[in-house]
Amino acid sequence: MRLCSIAVLLVAFASCKPRNEAGAITAGAAEKVYVAPGKYDEFYNFVSGGFNGQVSVYGLPSGRLLKIIPVFSVMPENGYGYSEETKPMLETSHGSLPWDDQHHLELSQKDGSPDGRWLFANANNTPRVARINLATFRTEEIIELPNSAGNHSSPFCTENTEYVVAGTRFSVPVGDKQDVPISDYKKSFNGTVSFIKIDSSNGRMSLAFQLLTPAINFDLSHAGKGPSHDWFFFSCYNVEQAHTLLEVNASQRDKDFIMAVNWKKAEEFIRNNKGTLKSSRYAHNVYDEKTHSATSTIENKVLTLDPSQLKDFVYFIPCPKSPHGVDIDPSGEYIVGSGKLAALIPVFSFTKMMAAIEKKDFDGDYQGIPVIRYESALYGEVQKPGLGPLHTEFDGKGNAYTSFFVSSEVVKWNIKDLKVLDRKPTYYSVGHLCIPGGDTKKPFGKYLIAYNKITKDRYLPTGPELAQSAQLYDISGDKMELLLDFPTVGEPHYAQAIPADLIKNNSLKYFRIEDNKHPYVTKGEKEAKVVREGNKVHVYITSIRSHFTPDNIEGIRVGDEVYFHVTNLEQDWDIPHGFAVKGAANAEILIMPGETCTLKWVPEAEGVYPIYCTDFCSALHQEMQGYVRVSRADANTPLKYGTNLPDSAVAKN
Amino acid sequence: MKKYVYTAVLLGLTWACASNSQPPKEESPAPVVEDNSLQPSTSASSAAYDSVKGAGKYTNIELSAALDQKMIAGGKTVYEVKCAACHKLTDEKLVGPGWKGITKKKSPEWIMNFVSNTDEMIDKDPHAQAMLAVCMVRMPNQHLSDEETRDVFEFMRNNDSSK
């Protein structure tokens, strides 16, 4: 063991050239992350997929990839976005979109702690928020945000999941006049911050209200907790209101803002009819577990509140400099701004902020919104923490951990005395951090995961494009200890981790066929059939280990739209069947036990087309196949179908 | 004789397991399945195993002389959705064995345990193991409720009583 560690150390020195010895792996690291075959990990780690538009699920501490949940991008692997049932999930006011950029995740909460019911995910490019059901690990709902662009400061939620928020990274023209000169930015553009109401019984989302804000950029956000429960905090940059070369022009001012929003007060304004209902177009897509199908609806109204008119519920706190993370400690008292160009970390006090508001201790206003004096809200500053602070998480033991992109390190500091306690390098250029429950009232602690943007020489080279990575640190002791590197899928941004016990026992094993309300379900082979309606052909087909019924189909014609409605008759865990058709301009579909999925196929030439099961299901999986005969468009081939029919069987219908 | 047959079955199964990454050889003898499980098993590998009733929650099923028509109807519905894809009502094997005669060969408890506790039965029961070697597809547990399990058994009884 000792020898082994030494070897690891030597290799580490030889290949990675860590900048200091603290980066080396200590003995015993392997044991701490080893999860024996057949044993479960202690935590689920939900990791945003960035530019792959999906969410990946890892086990901790092993770093094993358990699943990729398709959310905002199509996934030919299981048919998400390709099956008729899931196509509506990707509908937007811009039509059907196959891709997005998924940045941040938030687990639903009760009393400030994750309850394991849902996971929320944001889409950055075409602004949307998704809700994933953690019983099925499926995307169940997606709501689009109107009057928004670059939905970055999302999808963070309040302590009882009353609301999930979304804010604009890009301010845009809001309202009827959309075709405006870009140089009219200050005059014609607005930011917006949306509050999405969550129905606590079923998780359903609805756009409750939208704040119309000055044309600045919102970066991240977090809800208050405990004493600050009624408030939501958003980091803002580009208060310079640049619309070109932001790299330089949005970095002029010494301080940007943290925007504090009293959402309880916003509710009060709405109750008193102070909101304005405005026309808007946005898609709202809902997947129904009983029909196994999604529907997409275009909504057309949004309730708007204007904080420059409605007073005393939105305030700015100056924050150096282009802040990324705005993170609230478990007590709800301390608000940590991570200014990515700042040389210090400001920590604001909620108590002092409230006192300043009470005393109107303002440094003027910014476009009609009061700016609280920096010193009046400030609790203190962490001096010389590192370069490029990005994001802070908490361990529940009075410590904060901040990522530093520029200096590639994680820094542990004490919230009360603001003293730096430890620093460890990351490999390389860390973005977000995650501690299990690290943004909640009661962090579970134990581990910290750093999500790195750059890996360079950390893994075997794979050409110019390399994996991003996660690094796992043990934070149970005084000093952080690097345990494990693991490559990630896509580009991870924010992540969440939760004890496995809060999720695994609720995990659905199969869909009850009795509950299947799909309009084209086939409940038993007896109901299997092929129905022609004009040029549409509906195939009611079943799968069970290991055959389809029907598996011989004749009478399809070139130009038909064929819908294979495949019902998986199995009623046990981990028995999916797949379905594919030769030449289909589509993906495969994977059908879970008790589920019905539909693959659309438009054959373009006559011939005999094989169909088969793509998911190895039994010793006779390779036999799970069939044929579909396609005749000329004007042919009179009778419709005939079945499984194990005698060759002499006469045509049905 | 009994013992001998079981040994052969077990050997056959062992062979099947050991070589499951290999295609079966032409000359390998088909496993012998002799259905004698209404007699208590003396198989050494399962001293505590009750091969008459099988393993599971059903230890004593009381049957009335008359068939229950309501249960038969319920059983038929379940059969058509969850069973018919693999089991015919004749004695002909499809994916799994045909059902004709099953209630004469097996105890009610065995059948209902096999339906509801499929995995353990396939792993433990000598006859189920032998059938696996013939059918080569593990029967899926279709997760029938207690009522559905009983209904299906009544449906089987009815199937065996007719004609």
Per-residue model confidence as pLDDT tens digits over A229-273: 999 999 999 999 999 999 999 999 999 999 999 999 999 999 999
Contact A571/B140, CB-based, under 8 Å? yes
Please check whether residue A588 is in contact with residue A79, taking contact to mean a CB–CB distance below 8 angstroms: yes
Those of residues 119-138 in B touching chain A at CB distance below 8 A are 136-138
As a whole number of angstroms, the distance between CA A120 and CA A494 comes to 12
As a whole number of angstroms, the distance between CA A119 and CA A131 comes to 6
3-class secondary-structure state, position A521: coil
Full-model pTM: 0.90
Single-letter amino acid, residue A390: L
Give the position of tokens 């000792």: A2
Say if A305 is an interface residue toward chain B (CB within 8 Å). Answer: no
Confidence of residue A17 (pLDDT cuts 50, 70, 90): very low
Question: Of the given ranges (A37-46, A358-367, A582-591, A642-651), which has the lowest mean pLDDT?
Answer: A642-651
Give chain B positions within 8 Å (CB) of A526: 80, 84
Give chain A positions within 8 Å (CB) of B95: 544-547, 620
Quick one: which of B138, B73, B155 has its CA closest to A544? B138
ipTM of the complex: 0.78
Distance set, CA A412 to CA A397, A409, A599, B37 (Å): 12, 10, 52, 68
Please check whether residue B131 is in contact with residue B97, taking contact to mean a CB–CB distance below 8 angstroms: yes
Give the position of tokens 């496995």: A500
β-sheet bridge partners, residue A131: A120, A141
User: Burial level of B161, CB count in 10 A (0-12/13-18/19+)?
Assistant: exposed
- Two structure tokens written together for A290: 């009983």
Residues 6+ apart with CB under 8 A from A621: A545, A546, A613, A615
What's the length of chain A? Answer: 653
Measured between CA atoms, the residue of chain A closest to residue B96 is A545
| Average pLDDT of the residues of chain A | 94
User: Burial level of A414, CB count in 10 A (0-12/13-18/19+)?
Assistant: middle
pLDDT of residue B48: 82
Contact B81/A510, CB-based, under 8 Å? no
Going A496 to A501 to A506 to A507, the CA torsion angle's sign is positive
As a whole number of angstroms, the distance between CA B161 and CA B163 comes to 7
DSSP state of A586: S
Say if B88 is an interface residue toward chain A (CB within 8 Å). Answer: no
DSSP state of B105: H
Measured between CA atoms, the residue of chain B closest to residue A549 is B85
Confidence of residue A647 (pLDDT cuts 50, 70, 90): confident
Whether the bond between A321 and the residue before it is cis, its omega within 30 degrees of 0, is yes
Say if B142 is an interface residue toward chain A (CB within 8 Å). Answer: yes
Say if A96 is an interface residue toward chain B (CB within 8 Å). Answer: no
Quick one: which of A36, A102, A77 has its CA closest to A495? A102
Q: In this model, does residue A20 exceed pLDDT 60?
A: no
- Measure A573 CA to nearest chain B CA, in Å: 9
φ/ψ region of B101 (left if φ > 0, alpha if ψ in -120 to 50, else beta) reads left
Q: Give backbone dihedrals phi and psi of A513, rounded to 5 degrees, phi first.
A: -65, -30
Low-confidence ranges of chain B (pLDDT < 70): 1-47, 163
Those of residues 591-650 in A touching chain B at CB distance below 8 A are 618-620, 644
DSSP H helices in A114-167: none
Confidence of residue A18 (pLDDT cuts 50, 70, 90): very low
As a whole number of angstroms, the distance between CA A251 and CA A324 comes to 13
Measured between CA atoms, the residue of chain B closest to residue A567 is B81
pLDDT of residue A7: 41
As a whole number of angstroms, the distance between CA A339 and CA A322 comes to 5
